[in-house]
Amino acid sequence: MHGKSTQGNELKGRHVLLGLVAFFGVMLIANGIFLYYALATFGGGDTSDPYRKGLHYNDTLAEAAEQDTRGWRIALSYDRGTGQLSLFLRDKAGRALRGLAVASTLGRPATDKEDTALKLIESEPGVYSGRARLADGQWLVTATVEDPAAPGAPYRLKQRLFISATP
């Protein structure tokens, strides 16, 4: 008497090989997709020439200390209806700071793809404004303020701005 043949249910070497090839093929495809999107969405380093900037870090700290001694009070606002970005500048005593040159950059915190340069012009005493259409979400506003009458280290501002989807 012969037992039943289980030839159709046997695990053979080619089945194991096909299973391994399929498993690693799926893993390679998934990793390839992740790698593509990682490289396509990351703009690179946070700063240009980090080594040289690191060498002059003490100068950066000295400029920051000098900036703190000025005691300037700064407020930033954005009017979604008009697209106007305004920077309010006051000195220690609360007087409007006039006649300054203000250059700014608007961008997203995580990428440089939407970076836009914007020159802010004094629209009224101590208020420097410019027009820019900003989409919803987080924005990073960096500004450099220079006083042509008093040459020296410029005042630097780096502030986040959130544009809400609901007005």
Per-residue pLDDT of 47-77, as tens digits, reads 778 888 889 899 889 888 888 888 889 999 9
Given a contact cutoff of 8 angstroms between Cβ atoms, the answer to whether 44 and 61 are in contact is: no
Confidence of residue 154 (pLDDT cuts 50, 70, 90): confident
Query: Which tokens in the block code for residue 40?
Result: 């396509």
pLDDT in tens, 70-108: 888 999 999 988 989 999 999 889 899 999 999 999 999
Residue 2 reports pLDDT greater than 70: no
Q: What are the sequence ranges of the domains in the chain?
A: 12-41, 71-163
Who wins on pLDDT, 2 or 40? 40
Who wins on pLDDT, 20 or 167? 20
The set of long-range contacts for 35-42, using a CB threshold of 8 Å and a minimum separation of 24, is: 41/111, 42/111
Residue 167 reports pLDDT greater than 70: no
pLDDT in tens, 18-47: 999 999 999 999 999 999 998 888 766 667
Residue 5 reports pLDDT greater than 60: no
Looking at the domain 71-163, which fold is it? Immunoglobulin-like (2.60.40)
Residue 135 reports pLDDT greater than 70: yes
The pLDDT assigned to 29 comes to 98
Round to whole Å and give the CA distance between 119 and 144.
10
Given a contact cutoff of 8 angstroms between Cβ atoms, the answer to whether 107 and 63 are in contact is: no
The mean pLDDT value for 148-167 works out to: 84
The pLDDT assigned to 43 comes to 66
